A = this chain, B = another copy of it.
Amino acid sequence: MSIEKQFTDHMKKLKAYNEATSLLYWDLRTGAPKKGVDLRSETIGTISSDIFIMSTSDEFGSLLSALEEKKAELDPVMLRSVEEARKQYDLSKKIPPEEYKEFVILQSKAESVWETAKDTSDFSLFEPYLEKMVATTKKMIGYWGEKNGSAYNTLLDQYEPGMTTEILDEVFGQLRNRIIPLVQKINASTSKPDTDFLYKPFPKEAQREFSNKILEQLGYDFEAGRLDETVHPFMIGINRQDVRITTKYDEKDFRTAVFGTIHECGHALYEQNIGEDLSGTFVEGGASMGIHESQSLFLENFVGRSEKFWENNYELLKSYSPEQFGSVPQQDFIRAINESQPSLIRIEADELTYALHIMIRYELEKGLFNGAFEVKDLPQLWNDKYEEYLGIRPSNDAEGVLQDVHWAGASFGYFPSYALGYMYAAQFKNAMLKDLPNYDELLAEGNVAPIREWMTDKVHRHGSMKKPLEILEDATGEGLNADHLAKYLEEKYSKVYQLV
Once bound together, how far apart are the Cα atoms of A39 and B238, in whole Å? 10
Of residues 24 to 52 in A, which have CB atoms within 8 Å of B's CB atoms?
A: 24, 27, 31-36, 38-40, 42-43, 46-47
Contacts of A42 in B (CB 8 A): 12, 16
Once bound together, how far apart are the Cα atoms of A223 and B35, in whole Å? 6
Once bound together, how far apart are the Cα atoms of A223 and B33, in whole Å? 5
**Which chain B residue has the least Cβ–Cβ distance from A279?**
B39
A416 within 8 A of B: no
Contacts of A222 in B (CB 8 A): 33
Contacts of A17 in B (CB 8 A): 46-47
Once bound together, how far apart are the Cα atoms of A12 and B45, in whole Å? 12
A225 lies within 8 A of B33 (CB)? yes
Contacts of A13 in B (CB 8 A): 46
Contacts of A238 in B (CB 8 A): 32, 36, 40
Copy number in this complex? Answer: 2
Once bound together, how far apart are the Cα atoms of A31 and B226, in whole Å? 8
A20 within 8 A of B: yes
Closest beta carbon of chain B to A330's beta carbon, Å: 35
A490 within 8 A of B: no
A19 within 8 A of B: yes
B16 lies within 8 A of A46 (CB)? yes
Once bound together, how far apart are the Cα atoms of A221 and B36, in whole Å? 11
Which of A239-247, A350-358, A434-442, A491-499 forms part of the interface with chain B? A239-247
Of residues 197 to 226 in A, which have CB atoms within 8 Å of B's CB atoms?
A: 221-226
B36 lies within 8 A of A224 (CB)? yes
Chain A interface secondary structure, helix, strand, loop or mixed? Answer: helix
Interface residues on A, range: 35 or more
**Which chain B residue has the least Cβ–Cβ distance from A239?**
B39
**Which chain B residue has the least Cβ–Cβ distance from A20?**
B20
Of residues 322 to 342 in A, which have CB atoms within 8 Å of B's CB atoms?
A: none
A23 within 8 A of B: yes
Of residues 1 to 21 in A, which have CB atoms within 8 Å of B's CB atoms?
A: 12-13, 15-17, 19-21
Closest beta carbon of chain B to A449's beta carbon, Å: 19
Closest beta carbon of chain B to A41's beta carbon, Å: 10
B226 lies within 8 A of A39 (CB)? no
A239 lies within 8 A of B43 (CB)? yes
Given known contacts A39-B239, A242-B40, is B20 in contact with A24 (CB within 8 Å)? yes
Residue in B27, B40, B46, B242 whose beta carbon sits within 8 Å of that of A39 in the complex: B242
A47 lies within 8 A of B16 (CB)? yes
Q: Which of A27, A34, A43 gathers most chain B CB within 10 Å? A: A43
Closest beta carbon of chain B to A246's beta carbon, Å: 13
Closest beta carbon of chain B to A99's beta carbon, Å: 22
Contacts of A46 in B (CB 8 A): 12-13, 16-17
Contacts of A34 in B (CB 8 A): 223-224
Given known contacts A27-B27, A239-B40, is B12 in contact with A224 (CB within 8 Å)? no
Closest beta carbon of chain B to A53's beta carbon, Å: 12
Contacts of A242 in B (CB 8 A): 32-33, 35-36, 39-40
Closest beta carbon of chain B to A21's beta carbon, Å: 8
Closest beta carbon of chain B to A265's beta carbon, Å: 15
Once bound together, how far apart are the Cα atoms of A486 and B223, in whole Å? 51
Given known contacts A33-B225, A222-B33, A223-B34, is B39 in contact with A20 (CB within 8 Å)? no
A239 lies within 8 A of B36 (CB)? yes
Closest beta carbon of chain B to A27's beta carbon, Å: 6
Once bound together, how far apart are the Cα atoms of A20 and B23, in whole Å? 8
B35 lies within 8 A of A221 (CB)? yes
Contacts of A239 in B (CB 8 A): 36, 39-40, 43
Q: List 14 A-B contacts (CB under 8 A).
A: A12-B42, A17-B47, A19-B43, A20-B21, A20-B43, A27-B27, A33-B223, A35-B221, A35-B223, A35-B224, A36-B241, A40-B238, A40-B242, A43-B239
Q: Can you name 18 extra interface pairs (CB under 8 A) apart from A17-B46, A33-B223?
A: A15-B43, A16-B42, A16-B46, A16-B47, A20-B23, A27-B27, A31-B226, A33-B222, A33-B224, A33-B226, A33-B241, A34-B223, A35-B221, A35-B223, A36-B238, A36-B239, A39-B239, A40-B238
Which A residues are closer than 8 A to B by beta carbons?
Answer: 12-13, 15-17, 19-21, 23-24, 27, 31-36, 38-40, 42-43, 46-47, 221-226, 238-242
What are the 10 tightest A-B residue pairs by CB atom distance, in nearest-first order? A36-B242, A16-B46, A35-B241, A36-B241, A39-B239, A20-B20, A16-B43, A35-B224, A19-B43, A34-B223
